[in-house]
Amino acid sequence: MLLGHNVDGTCGIPGGRREPGETLDQTLARELLEESGWTLRDPAPLGFLHFLNRSPKPPGSPYPYPDFAQVIYTATAATYHPGALLPDAYELGARFHPIAEARRYLSPGQFLYIDAALKARTR
């Protein structure tokens, strides 16, 4: 499983926000390439996460508030392009982990997505 690594030592599922005019598939391809350097084969929507911010909207934030959704996909890694990684002050990049190891970094709620992705890939 591909996990993003952050400067604070946390890991998570790579993700990001849709740019104006992008389809969800275009957003997936762009964000994954920028955060990990990987392109994908056979992306398929798996589910979504719903976020509800409880704090006040940050001044000048252009993003939907207080609710937003993040679509979760399953896919196969295709080609690695290390030069495509964008420098970021928080994200250090991403790497693949065995499923058992990935579970140590994620919340129990995210295990549902791991299990669903594994089940979808064995069909």
What would the pLDDT profile of 25-47 be if each residue is shown by its tens digit? 999 999 999 989 999 999 999 88
> What is the extent of the structural domain holding 21?
2-121
Residue 6 contacts residue 90 (beta carbons within 8 Å) = yes
CATH code for the domain in which residue 71 is found: 3.90.79.10
What does the mean pLDDT of the chain come to? 89
Residue 31 contacts residue 12 (beta carbons within 8 Å) = no
pTM of the shown model: 0.82
Instruction: Provide the number of structural domains found in the chain.
Output: 1
Mean pLDDT across 67-82: 91
pLDDT confidence band for 15 (50 / 70 / 90): confident
Phi, psi of 29 (to 5 degrees): -65, -45
Task: Name the least confident of 3-12, 96-105, 107-116.
Answer: 107-116
Mean pLDDT across 52-72: 90
